[in-house]
Amino acid sequence: MSDDAATGDRSADGPYGFDDVSALRDLSGTYDLGVVSNNRHATVEFVADWAGFDDAVSVLRGRSPTIEGYERQKPDPHYLLETLDELAVDDPGRSLYVGDRETDLAAAENAGMDGAYLRRSHNRDATLTRDPAYEIESLWELTEL
């Protein structure tokens, strides 16, 4: 997930969930999931709880509120690599990073991961300058990959 996860539509999953957030719960039964955001860590924790996916992910990672944290924002792979390390992933090439911005795709590439571009209402017509491994419109599509 990416920085703008909290801007999606509300759903039947709960008053603050997205219509596809329950896909994360399904995926968490098979995969270890992490969330990496350019937002500050406290904001990431708040949004995960607010949107109802905090129980579906093993690691939540946001930047530290420091100059160094700011400099390590995506497309720098630092926080992705930290998360992979915490999830005990030995080969980043066997991982997928899902994001809704071009910087997410660049960060995934810089970390040696495949990137999936998630189209939402705010980026539906965006033109990409790089080719993602996957382009999806719903997190449910991840269950079919």
Question: Residue ranges per domain, the chain?
Answer: 3-144
How large is the average pLDDT for residues 96-109?
A: 97
**Considering only the top CATH level, what class is 3-144?**
alpha beta
Alpha-carbon distances of 19 from 89, 97, 99, 120, rounded to whole Å: 29, 20, 17, 12
Average pLDDT, the chain: 88
pTM for the predicted model, two decimal places: 0.84
Q: Which of 53-57, 85-89, 90-94 has the lowest average pLDDT?
A: 53-57
